[in-house]
Amino acid sequence: MRHQRTGKKLGRDASHRKAMYANLTGALIEHGRIKTTVTKAKAVKPIAERMITLGRRGDLHARRQATSFLRSRDVVHRLFADVAPRFQDRPGGYARIVKIGPRPGDSAEMAYLELVDEEYVAAQREERATAVAEPEPEAVEPEADEEAELEEPTAEAEEAEAEEAEVEEAEAEEAEEPSAEDESEEK
């Protein structure tokens, strides 16, 4: 008999539990690794693996099933475009639980629930690190180019500057000469 085999209740009613599972699964797909309690991780792991299996199928019906559970088109797109192709050759076991010890506030056992693909998790960590370390790489590069141009003038640029300086001097002399003639006429 299968008495008392309904799964973990986690102190929530059915709709709250379903929403929490959807949110945790979406966060796992989006970030590649989440920190949660061991009990929640054990409850979410099979759901996340089922979603990745849907992503591997890749047909319209699978996409609609994933969207109905995850409730976010962005997460579903990431699942089908980025995550599922990485696990195409893997027969199962897409996620793992790594225990990290008790939480300081209430001593609840904490764990990382992460995708097994090391490249994906490493890429997500690098994206977050570069986003924090470098605010805007596009704004930095043009400044560097301008400085390089200022530091190393070419021969053509030097000749052009010399010609401009000569033209300016000639214009300044011409401007002074008529004013000197005007003064002599006034006297």
Shared domain check, 101 and 18? yes
148 alpha carbon, distance to own chain's centre? 30
Shared domain check, 160 and 69? no
Average pLDDT estimate for 1-17: 89
**Amino acid 135: pLDDT:** 62
Cα(44)–Cα(182) distance, integer angstroms: 94
- Least confident interval from 44-53, 71-80, 91-100, 157-166: 157-166
Shared domain check, 86 and 164? no
Q: Of 91, 94, 93, which is closest to residue 79 (Cα–Cα)? A: 94
Cα(115)–Cα(44) distance, integer angstroms: 12
pTM (2 decimals)? 0.64
Total structural domains in the chain?
2
35 occurs within a structural domain:
yes
With a CB cutoff of 8 Å and minimum separation 6, the contacts of 140 are 134
Range of the domain at 166: 154-186
**Amino acid 186: pLDDT:** 52
Shared domain check, 101 and 35? yes
Cα(78)–Cα(28) distance, integer angstroms: 11
Average pLDDT estimate for 178-183: 52
Which amino acid appears at position 8 of this protein? K
